[in-house]
Structures are given as structure tokens and as C-alpha cells.
């Protein structure tokens, strides 16, 4: 394992940070402004990708920014785990930026400059989280990520958006405070917070009780962003954000940074040995398994598509945490592979939801019967990604789930394997109706949805993306809502769902929506298939094997 001192990791972070003033200055020239975003995104991807061959060969790239106080040593280190996360985030930023253009312009959204600038800031912070070499640097970028994503959550500036933003900040800063406390305890016990593969020496042996307390604080703090129950409720409310935000940030960057934090905690702070010694493996696995199942059940009752996807995210994130908690080689591979797998699949789903919103202003599943006529490519991609979520073979979700289930059985935790399989069934239960009704039903003739329409069901949840009330009639009449989208009614192809006449038919060659919106959807759907069919070609699996090979492993929970 050789270490190379280079400024490239810092450059990877700063590329988009430096793009922020450029984007702000180009506010009046939208095409140039978007160009700045693309330049930053491609540069970032290029730098991150350039690390891949070296890291796979065992080189680690290090940038040491100096000691800023006792214990606050800012340094960056590109290792396999960080590269996994950074590669995912930087790849998907390009996709999300293309999509953002179609989405924001399609809805004539306001304050687009602030949006793109905040997006660039968020990605800078995400790469910072990925490349942090110690807990304090990670904490720094973690908090900056919270601050950078806040303007995106409250983008709509409606009362719901502000309330969601408040909740988001309260939860994530609370999590940050817990992380800070845990970090201070670790610093006190060992004098360092640096990530050491296999665990920081002497952490567990010094004082097991304090080490346990620190683990709980850190896991809890990171768990807020990872949406572990009961700290998950900010995520469904955060769906008021524009869809690219919900897709990239709240399915890929922000929530994965929480999961990434837990990964660092388990692998590089305590080490798998340390976690097993402290006996924290079982509690963490139990919480993850509970979240898995409970979130899937709640998802069944959501009528709003984005809220359903949010609960699906909560559930799927716990797959990763479960994999980490089980401490078995296969479980770790499965959990870590689920990071990119879920990222691609969930982003596809969100992009589809956003496309539906832009083109038809439909947000609720109960109003989407027959929408496959109007948006065939979108719904096909949705079907592919949904199948992947459920764990159907040949798609991304299958590979990670396969490893996870094997790992669970290996460690003797068959109940966890059972939870995973149950969740798979529930995934089918809440995704299949959407796909089925899109292609095989129509507005005039569709089956009842008792889970949603029952009085105690999900109807009447948070109104998203502008909060337009739907009751079967045209809604030009949003009163009193400061809402940029209503100004943009003149775009082509816009129509309301209308139970009387059904959906307009569109062909399969892209006339259903702007190519800015469709191309990203196809890209992420293809990615989901590729990861499922040939995971090692897409380099993610190789990186993960590199991570896992370096670890001393514990085989059994018992």
C-alpha cells in the first residue's frame, strides 16, 4: 500500500466549490450558467475516475491540509471506500445536471441560479465526506453538506417547504451534534480520529463502556442522515424539494453520506473486530432490519409517488446498514454494493417521478392509471428500476441482495435473511401496482386500491412540488401560494389528468418529454442493468472487493 502526496483530492472537492461564484455571476445567462455546472461536473468526474486504477492497485492518494487545532487535522485520503462513494456521486451529478435543465426549465422554476449553485456546493461537500481521512474532517464536510443542501430543500419557498427545511436542519444538526460528541470521546480515548483500516488501535480496549457510548453516538448521528428509524421522518417531508434534489441528494448524496459514515465507523474506526467485541453488531443489525420492514410497510400506504419512493429509500438504506452490521464478508460486499446499486435504481425512479410531474402534473399514484400510454419510456424505465429494487435477477438490486442474504445466513442470522426476503416481497407489493396500472389499466377502468383509499390510508399526505391540490378538475387556481411553477403553464405537451378522456398516446421514440429529461432516465436505467448483469465491468464490484480484502473479518455473530 503506497501513499502518494498530491493535491488532486482537494482539487476534486474544490472544482465545484470554485464553480459556485461562477454560477452566481452567470445568473442572467442560463446557458452559460448550466455550462459552468457541466464543466465542473465533468472535471470532478474526471479527477475522481483518475484515482480508480491507482486505488485498485493499492495506491492511496493523500492531501494533508495541516493541523488546525488540537485534534483537528484536516486531511484527505482517497481509499477504496471513499472512491466508491465519490465515483457514484460524481457520475450521477452529471446525469442529474442534465435532468435539472429539463426539469427546472420545464416548470419555469424560480431562483434557478441559487439552485445550481447550492447543488455545486452540495457535491463539493459530498466529495469532501468521501475523501475525509479522519472523523473531524468528515464532520466538517458533513455539516457543510447540511448547510449546502438546505436551500435546495426549501427551494419552493412555500410554508411546507420551509417547515420541511426546518425539520431537516433540526434533525441533521442534531445528528451532527451526536457525531461531534462521539468524535470527542474517540479523541479522548485514543488521541486520534484518523481512519485506520481494521479499527483505531486501542479504542475498544481502553474503556469498553465509553467506547460503546461513542459508538452509539456516532451511529446515531450518522443514522439520522442514513434515515434509520426512528430518525427517519425528515426524509419523507424533504420530498417537497424539486425532484432532482430528491433524487440525487436524498437518494444518493446526503443519505449515502450517512450510510458512508456508518461504513467508516464500522470498518475504519472500530473495525469489524472491535464492533463484534463491543457487542454492537446485533443491536445495529436489529435496528436496520426493523427499519427495512417497517418502512416497506409504510410505503404501501403512500399515495404520493415521491413519498412512497422516500419510504422505499429508508428501507433500502437499511439494507446497507444491515450488511455493515452483520460483519460477514458476503454481507459487507452486499451492503457496499447496494450503495451504487440503490443509487442508480432509486435515481431512475425519482427521475421518472419528476418526468411525470413535469409533463402531466400528476403526483399521486391513484391518478396514474394508464399513464404508460402517455409516457411509455419513462414507465418502462420505472418498471426496470422497480424490478431491481425488488431484487429481480439481471438487475442491480439482485446482486447486492444475493450477497446480503448469503451473508445473513452465514452468520447465523436467518431472521435477517427472512427480513430481507420479506422486504423483497413488500417491494413488489408497492411497486408492481404502479407499473401494472400504468400499462394495463386506464383512468376509466382501474382496480381499487384499498390500502390507499381506505380512510386510514395514505391519501392526503404532504403535497409535493408546488402543493397543487388535486380533485379531478383543472387547477389553475392556486390561491395564495408563492409558487413559481404556476407561471410556466405555457410549455408544450402540458395537460392535466382528466378522468374523462384518458391519456394521450405518445410513441416510444421520445415525444413524451424533453430529451433533457429522458436521456438521464435512460442512462440511470442502463446503469442499473449493467450493475446487475456485469457488476465487475462497471468497476464498482472490484472496488468493493478491494475494500473487503483489506479487512480482518468476523464470521459469526454468535
Contacts with other proteins by CB under 8 A lie at 66-72, 74, 136, 139-140, 143-144, 147, 151, 154, 157, 161-162, 165-166, 169-170, 173-174, 176-178, 180-181, 184-185, 187-188, 482
Instruction: In angstroms, give the least distance from the CB of 147 to other proteins.
Output: 6
Cβ count near 522 (within 10 Å): 18
Instruction: In angstroms, give the least distance from the CB of 176 to other proteins.
Output: 7
CA distances from 452 to 353, 458, 459 (A): 18, 5, 6
Instruction: In angstroms, give the least distance from the CB of 159 to other proteins.
Output: 9
> For residues 19 and 278, what is the distance between their CA atoms, to the nearest angstrom?
45
CA distances from 17 to 2, 33, 51, 118, 172 (A): 29, 14, 20, 10, 22
Instruction: In angstroms, give the least distance from the CB of 266 to other proteins.
Output: 22
DSSP type of residue 486: G
Q: Which is nearer to other proteins, 140 or 297 (CB)?
A: 140
Instruction: In angstroms, give the least distance from the CB of 546 to other proteins.
Output: 30
> For residues 112 and 98, what is the distance between their CA atoms, to the nearest angstrom?
14
Instruction: In angstroms, give the least distance from the CB of 155 to other proteins.
Output: 8
Q: Which among 153, 99, 101, 148 has a CA at the least distance from the CA of 127?
A: 148
Segment holding 75, helix H or strand E: strand 72-78
Quote the crossing angle between the two packed helices 376-390 and 329-360, to the nearest 10°: 160
Instruction: In angstroms, give the least distance from the CB of 188 to other proteins.
Output: 5
Helix (H, G, I), strand (E, B) or coil at 60: strand
Q: Which is nearer to other proteins, 54 or 174 (CB)?
A: 174
Grid coordinates representing 204? 475498544
Instruction: In angstroms, give the least distance from the CB of 180 to other proteins.
Output: 6
Instruction: Find residue 78's DSSP bridge partners.
Output: 61
Q: Which is nearer to other proteins, 152 or 355 (CB)?
A: 152
Q: Which is nearer to other proteins, 162 or 496 (CB)?
A: 162
Q: Which is nearer to other proteins, 194 or 286 (CB)?
A: 194
Instruction: In angstroms, give the least distance from the CB of 126 to other proteins.
Output: 16
> For residues 523 and 95, what is the distance between their CA atoms, to the nearest angstrom?
8
CB contact burial 256-277 (16+ within 10 A = b; e otherwise): bbbbbbbbbbbbbbbbbbbbbb
Contact 385, 349 (CB under 8 A): yes
How many residues appear in the chain?
A: 558
Grid coordinates representing 192? 486520534
* Sign of CA pseudo-dihedral 224, 125, 214, 204: positive
Q: Which is nearer to other proteins, 56 or 147 (CB)?
A: 147
Amino acid at each position: 500500500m503506497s501513499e502518494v502526496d498530491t493535491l488532486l483530492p482537494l482539487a476534486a472537492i474544490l472544482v465545484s466549490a470554485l464553480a459556485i461564484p461562477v454560477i452566481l455571476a452567470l445568473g442572467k445567462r442560463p446557458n452559460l450558467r448550466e455550462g459552468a455546472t457541466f464543466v465542473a461536473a465533468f472535471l470532478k468526474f474526471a479527477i475522481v475516475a483518475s484515482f480508480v486504477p491507482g486505488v485498485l492497485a493499492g495506491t492511496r492518494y493523500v492531501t494533508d491540509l495541516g493541523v488546525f487545532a488540537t485534534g483537528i487535522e484536516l486531511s484527505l485520503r482517497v481509499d477504496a471506500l471513499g472512491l466508491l462513494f465519490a465515483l457514484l456521486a460524481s457520475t450521477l451529478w452529471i446525469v442529474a445536471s442534465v435532468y435539472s435543465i429539463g426539469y427546472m426549465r420545464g416548470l419555469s422554476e424560480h431562483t434557478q441560479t441559487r439552485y445550481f449553485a447550492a447543488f455545486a456546493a452540495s457535491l463539493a461537500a459530498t466529495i469532501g465526506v468521501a475523501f475525509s481521512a479522519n472523523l473531524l474532517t468528515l464532520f466538517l464536510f458533513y455539516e457543510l453538506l447540511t448547510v449546502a443542501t438546505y436551500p435546495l430543500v426549501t427551494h419552493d419557498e412555500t410554508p411546507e417547504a420551509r417547515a420541511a427545511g426546518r425539520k431537516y436542519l433540526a434533525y441533521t444538526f442534531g445528528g451532527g451534534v451526536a457525531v461531534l460528541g462521539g468524535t470527542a470521546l474517540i479523541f479522548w480515548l485514543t488521541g486520534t480520529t484518523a481512519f485506520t483500516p481494521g479499527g483505531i488501535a486501542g479504542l475498544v480496549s481502553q474503556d469498553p463502556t465509553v467506547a460503546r457510548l461513542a459508538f452509539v453516538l456516532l451511529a446515531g448521528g450518522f443514522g439520522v442522515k442514513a434515515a434509520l428509524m426512528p430518525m427517519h421522518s425528515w426524509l419523507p417531508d424533504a420530498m417537497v424539494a424539486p425532484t432532482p434534489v430528491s433524487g440525487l441528494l436524498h437518494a444518493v448524496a446526503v443519505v449515502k453520506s450517512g450510510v458512508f459514515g456508518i461504513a467508516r465507523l464500522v470498518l475504519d474506526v472500530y473495525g469489524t473486530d472491535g464492533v463484534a467485541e463491543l457487542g454492537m453488531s446485533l443491536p445495529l443489525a436489529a435496528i436496520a432490519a426493523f427499519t427495512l420492514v417497517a418502512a416497506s410497510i409504510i410505503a404501501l400506504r403512500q399515495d404520493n409517488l415521491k413519498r412512497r419512493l422516500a419510504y422505499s429509500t429508508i428501507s433500502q438504506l437499511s439494507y446497507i446498514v444491515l450488511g455493515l452490521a452483520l460483519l460477514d464478508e458476503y454481507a459487507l460486499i452486499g451492503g457496499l454494493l447496494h450503495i451504487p446499486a440503490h443509487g442508480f435504481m432509486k435515481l431512475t425512479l425519482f427521475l421518472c417521478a419528476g418526468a411525470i410531474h413535469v409533463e402531466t402534473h400528476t403526483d399521486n399514484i391513484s391518478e396514474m392509471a394508464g399513464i404508460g400510454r402517455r409516457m411509455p419510456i419513462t414507465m418502462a424505465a420505472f418498471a426496470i428500476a422497480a424490478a431491481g429494487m425488488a431484487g429481480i435477477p439481471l438487475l442491480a438490486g439482485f446482486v447486492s441482495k444475493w450477497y446480503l442474504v448469503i451473508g445473513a445466513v452465514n452468520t447465523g442470522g436467518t431472521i435477517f435473511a427472512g427480513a430481507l426476503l420479506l422486504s423483497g416481497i413488500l417491494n413488489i407489493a408497492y411497486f408492481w401496482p404502479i407499473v401494472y396500472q400504468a400499462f394495463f389499466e386506464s383512468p376509466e377502468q382501474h382496480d381499487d386500491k384499498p390500502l390507499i383509499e381506505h380512510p386510514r390510508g395514505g391519501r392526503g399526505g404532504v403535497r409535493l412540488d408546488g402543493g397543487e391540490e388535486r380533485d379531478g378538475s383543472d387547477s389553475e387556481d392556486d390561491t395564495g401560494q408563492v409558487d413559481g411553477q404556476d407561471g410556466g403553464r405555457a410549455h408544450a405537451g402540458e395537460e392535466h389528468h382528466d378522468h374523462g378522456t384518458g391519456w394521450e398516446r405518445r410513441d416510444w421514440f421520445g415525444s413524451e418529454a424533453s430529451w433533457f429529461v429522458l436521456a438521464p432516465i435512460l442512462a440511470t436505467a442502463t446503469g442499473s442493468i449493467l450493475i446487475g448483469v456485469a457488476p465487475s465491468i462497471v468497476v464498482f464490484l472490484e472496488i468493493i472487493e478491494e475494500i473487503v480484502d483489506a479487512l480482518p473479518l468476523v464470521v459469526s455473530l454468535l
